[in-house]
């Protein structure tokens, strides 16, 4: 019984935590970096032997993952992180198999754009939906009283 209550308490707590930060933007940026890292085929020994150009293929996706996590855990600096994130993502086009065969590139760009456009003081969607429903029902009742 207490296990069920703790689960019910964790879900609203996670929703409150998620609502206070650009969650989907940070998650997509981190997933894009992880996908690009997974598409790298060359081993790290070969990349270090090739030099800095080979290391850049690993550096930019690692930065993308790091920036995605920073967006999640430090949302106050989200604008800077999102700009650096989109630059790293676009740089991965040249250094990392066309940005992880376009999948990581798209995830990173969309995540960075979502983060850049996120507004921290916007009210939750549930409140907006509730107000819209109340406004619609109020106009319906007004129309019924007028008729």
Q: Are 61 and 47 in contact (CB under 8 A)?
A: no
* Residue 49 belongs to some domain of the structure: yes
Of the candidates 90, 84, 91, 92, the residue with the CA atom closest to the CA atom of residue 68: 84
Task: Name the helix (H) or strand (E) containing 91.
Answer: helix 78-95
Domain span including residue 105: 21-146
* Residue 3 belongs to some domain of the structure: no
Share of the chain above pLDDT 70, in %: 83
> What is the overall mean pLDDT for the chain?
84
* Residue 62 belongs to some domain of the structure: yes
* Residue 5 belongs to some domain of the structure: no
Would you state the pLDDT for residue 44?
61
- Distance, in Å, from the CA atom of 103 to the CA atom of 107, rounded to the nearest integer, reads 6
| Tokens matching residue 129 | 């939906």
Share of the chain above pLDDT 90, in %: 44
Taking 3-state DSSP, the helix, strand and coil percentages for the chain, each rounded to the nearest 5, stand at: 85, 0, 15
More confident residue, 129 or 90: 90
| Tokens matching residue 81 | 């992180």
Would you state the pLDDT for residue 52?
62
Residue 2's pLDDT band (cuts 50, 70, 90)? low
- Distance, in Å, from the CA atom of 70 to the CA atom of 129, rounded to the nearest integer, reads 30
pTM above 0.85, yes or no: no
* Residue 2 belongs to some domain of the structure: no
Q: How many folded domains does the chain comprise? A: 1
* Residue 138 belongs to some domain of the structure: yes
Q: Are 89 and 32 in contact (CB under 8 A)?
A: yes
pLDDT in tens, 32-68: 999 998 888 766 666 555 656 667 888 999 999 999 9
* Residue 100 belongs to some domain of the structure: yes
Would you state the pLDDT for residue 124?
65
* Residue 101 belongs to some domain of the structure: yes
């Amino acid at each position: 019984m207490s296990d069920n209550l703790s689960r019910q308490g964790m879900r609203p707590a996670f929703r409150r935590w998620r609502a206070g930060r650009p969650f989907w933007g940070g998650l997509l940026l981190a997933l894009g970096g992880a996908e690009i890292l997974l598409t790298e085929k060359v081993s790290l020994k070969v990349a270090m032997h090739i030099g800095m150009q080979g290391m850049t293929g690993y550096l930019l996706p690692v930065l993308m993952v790091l920036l995605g996590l920073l967006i999640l855990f430090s949302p106050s600096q989200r604008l800077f992180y999102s700009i650096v994130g989109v630059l790293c993502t676009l740089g991965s086009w040249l250094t990392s198999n066309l940005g992880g065969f376009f999948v990581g590139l798209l995830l990173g760009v969309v995540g960075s754009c979502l983060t850049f456009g996120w507004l921290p003081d916007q009210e939750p969607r549930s409140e907006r939906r509730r107000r819209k429903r109340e406004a619609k029902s109020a106009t319906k009742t007004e129309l019924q009283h007028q008729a």
